[in-house]
Amino acid sequence: MARNSRSVFSVDVSGLEPSREQSVSARIRDRLRTAIRSGALVGNARLPSSRTLARDFGVARNTVDDALGQLVSEGYIVRRRGSGSFVSPRLPEHDAPPLVPEREAEGAGAAVTRPRLSHRALSLRTHPGHSSPARSIPFTPSLPPLRHFPRDVWRRLLGREAARPGSDYWGYGASNGLPALREAIAAHASAMRAVRCTPEQVVVVTSTQQAVELAGKALADPGDRAWMELPGYPPVRHCLRAVGVDVVDVPVDDEGLEVDAGRRLAPDARLAYVTPAHQYPLGCEMSLARRKALLAWAREAGAYVLEDDYDGDYRYEGRPIASLQGMDDAGRVVYVGSFNKLLFPGLRLAYAIVPEALVGAFIDVKHVADGHTALLTQGVLAAFIQEGHLARHLRRARATYDERRRAFLEEAAVLDPWLEFGPARAGMHVTARFREHLAGRVDDKAVSEACAREGIEVHPLSRYGATGRGGLVFGFAGATRAATRTGLQAVRRVLEGRAQRGIA
């Protein structure tokens, strides 16, 4: 193979002059990822040093280091101390079907030509487990217990609203949402989360994901950077990447996102995504100092904070943490809330509350994305909120989840020899890390898979990009005490067996 077109380790190193609209580092990352996914680079293969790679690609070493760092955080590459970088033995998309790598189309004679997907679409395949929707078993995180939702009330309102004469629910709707729903949301968020807004600042969307995507489009151009929590919620990372935004991982400690690290890693980012009320997956809340530091950075950098308050309505201990949005005097926070977890996931209604100056842009990007959100459901939700059903449902759900949380924490004592639980003062999940003595002896993905075989869903902490000892994420809201006890015993058996055998 000719020098300058393919290096010894079967990655195309040609044509990296930045003529197309992607940085050199991103292109190196994409090529390495494609090579790994296509099998050109096999698991456990040792990569050349970054110095060698830099020479092969004809670029600076830190450009290569950037690309490798991204692939480490995506799980394609592992670093072994003192011995270099290796292709991960277990690819992040292990549960995805085998991929046909990008190729030139074949001649016109071929009956069906090969697919040619975009790099961004290929990179999304790293998202695990979305082919089958979440089932209701212990301990699925983020799945609300559906039997507690007052379906009879919802059905009654649905019938009533559908029978309303006129065409409010049938013709085209406003891209920012039904006025009645925007008013109800503004009132709810002000009362419950100390958000300061008018109904004009509310933009109704289908999901948190859509709100993130709209923010990505309105506030960043392709190639612009965004801070993302690490560990953090992978769909948000993928969502931003899908609209061309470069995601920069910023570490999280027990005070939340490390703003100083973000300033060092990407001072010019256009956007920072955070879960300040209840970090996902670690469960901590962002300290006041960090909140202030984050807002100060946004103000100075002319950047925006995307506050995902995904379960801010569920708090069981201590005083409620007010929203970041309520602290912001400079119009730098986009607040995102969702009804899909509060009510039921099949609903698909969420919202962004945006600074006044951004309202027009959010309406524009929502308009071109899908016109507007379905109308009848918006009317039903507006009635559900205005007539007090949401507040009632939240009160009941909060009491139920709190009871389940307490039961979980009591029963979870059986896992004490292996797991160290993090904060569980809010939300619907709690995260535990493996104890020191298991370090290097237990792989959280393998534990998660073994639990799945027992009918238990626990997410491996490494799925969220966490490094270190690994751990497990438990949703506690969906299981009764009896199911919780049985489920935790099953997890215990798995851990016990693995720890004894010392199987990774």
Nearest residue (CB) to a second copy, 47 versus 354: 354
Answer for which of 104, 319, 388, 453 binds a second copy (CB under 8 A) is: 104
State in angstroms the smallest separation of the CB of 421 from a second copy: 26
- Write out the binding residues for a second copy, residues 261-290 only, by CB under 8 A: 270
Q: Are 98 and 107 in contact (CB under 8 A)?
A: no
Q: Which stretch binds a second copy (CB under 8 A): 39-47, 112-120, 390-398, 494-502?
A: 112-120
- E-state strands within 3-149: 77-80, 84-87
14 binds a second copy (CB under 8 A): no
- Write out the binding residues for a second copy, residues 28-87 only, by CB under 8 A: none
State in angstroms the smallest separation of the CB of 57 from a second copy: 16
358 binds a second copy (CB under 8 A): yes
State in angstroms the smallest separation of the CB of 478 from a second copy: 11
- Write out the binding residues for a second copy, residues 295-314 only, by CB under 8 A: 296, 299-303
207 binds a second copy (CB under 8 A): yes
15 binds a second copy (CB under 8 A): no
291 binds a second copy (CB under 8 A): no
Decide: helix, strand or coil at residue 252: strand
174 binds a second copy (CB under 8 A): yes
Structure token digits, residue 120: 């961004």
- In this structure, the chain runs to a length of 504
* CA–CA separation, 94 and 96 (whole Å): 6
Decide: helix, strand or coil at residue 222: coil
Answer for which of 1, 80, 81, 132 binds a second copy (CB under 8 A) is: 132
Side-chain-side CA neighbours of 372 within 13 Å: the count stands at 17
Q: Which stretch binds a second copy (CB under 8 A): 40-48, 58-66, 147-155, 433-441?
A: 147-155
Nearest residue (CB) to a second copy, 178 versus 415: 178
Structure token digits, residue 502: 């010392």
State in angstroms the smallest separation of the CB of 135 from a second copy: 8
3 binds a second copy (CB under 8 A): no
Answer for which of 37, 217, 315, 463 binds a second copy (CB under 8 A) is: 217
Q: Which stretch binds a second copy (CB under 8 A): 212-220, 250-258, 453-461, 466-474?
A: 212-220
330 binds a second copy (CB under 8 A): yes
Nearest residue (CB) to a second copy, 54 versus 365: 365
- Write out the binding residues for a second copy, residues 443-502 only, by CB under 8 A: none
Answer for which of 51, 151, 292, 396 binds a second copy (CB under 8 A) is: 151
Three-state helix/strand/coil letters over 35-61: HHHHCCCCCCCECCCHHHHHHHHCCCH
State in angstroms the smallest separation of the CB of 125 from a second copy: 6
How would you classify residue 287: left for phi > 0, otherwise alpha for psi between -120 and 50, otherwise beta?
beta
State in angstroms the smallest separation of the CB of 212 from a second copy: 9
State in angstroms the smallest separation of the CB of 409 from a second copy: 26
DSSP states of 350-378 = EEEE--GGGHHHHHHHHHHHHSS--HHHH
- E-state strands within 327-460: 333-338, 350-353, 419-421, 429-434, 459-460
Q: Are 335 and 309 in contact (CB under 8 A)?
A: yes
Structure token digits, residue 204: 């109704």
Decide: helix, strand or coil at residue 504: coil
Nearest residue (CB) to a second copy, 355 versus 470: 355
CA dihedral 58, 63, 68, 70 (to 10 degrees): -140
- Write out the binding residues for a second copy, residues 219-238 only, by CB under 8 A: 219-224, 235, 238
Which residues, 6 or more positions from 207, have their beta carbon under 8 angstroms from its beta carbon? 338, 340, 348, 350
- Write out the binding residues for a second copy, residues 359-388 only, by CB under 8 A: 360-361, 363-365, 367-377
1 binds a second copy (CB under 8 A): no
What end-to-end distance do the CA atoms of the chain give, in Å? 39
